Amino acid sequence: ASLAAVLVPVVSGNAEPSTCCHTMLAEGVTCRSRFGFVSWWPLFVLTCILPSARTVERRAVCYAPGPVFMQLFFVQESIEHSVVITGDITGLQPGAHGMHVHSFGDLTNGCNSTGSHFNPMHKDHGAPEDRERHVGDLGNIKADAEGKARVYITDGMISLVGLKWDPVELQPLVRSPKE
């Protein structure tokens, strides 16, 4: 089953400070879990009730003025599996960019209103493979000479189902420089 909804994740590029954040518009949300759940967004509510299915997939497409375009897919087969984030980003400056989930879906004041990295357990900043890290620390991606980056991230700390942390509900960001 599919539920169309507007999501508000953010991409932050290394362009002008006034254009660092880019709102994303959901292309489609497919929610399948062992139990129903309600996900609260800063602006919208997504409800998915499919008790017998297992896979959760969320897709988001960047919608923003400026050169950066992003399409990401967040997929998790079950709560026991890691979330796999795949997709493509274009319009970046060549080089490494940090990818993070930020705390708020608020873009009223650009990047300043998205808050800090999502860190509900009050851990130190770290790499994705570190035991000690923000939930929102997803590592680095690298844009080629044409400003294109292919994203493939597997993360076991975030989650689309159950009581772990849902990255699509918060603020996925791409920043420069790398971390």
Is residue 84 within 8 A of residue 60, CB to CB? The reply is no
Q: Where are the domains of the chain?
A: 10-175
Residue-wise pLDDT for 62-78, tens only, equals 555 568 888 888 788 87
| CATH number for the domain formed by residue range(s) 10-175 | 2.60.40.200
Q: Any idea how long the chain is?
A: 179
Q: How confident is residue 168, by pLDDT bands cut at 50, 70 and 90?
A: low
Residue-wise pLDDT for 100-149, tens only, equals 777 776 767 767 777 888 788 888 888 888 888 888 888 888 999 999 99
pLDDT of residue 54: 57
**DSSP reduced 3-state for 18:** helix
Contacts 24+ apart (CB under 8 A), 112-119: 114/10, 114/21, 114/171, 114/173, 115/171, 118/165, 118/167, 118/170, 118/171
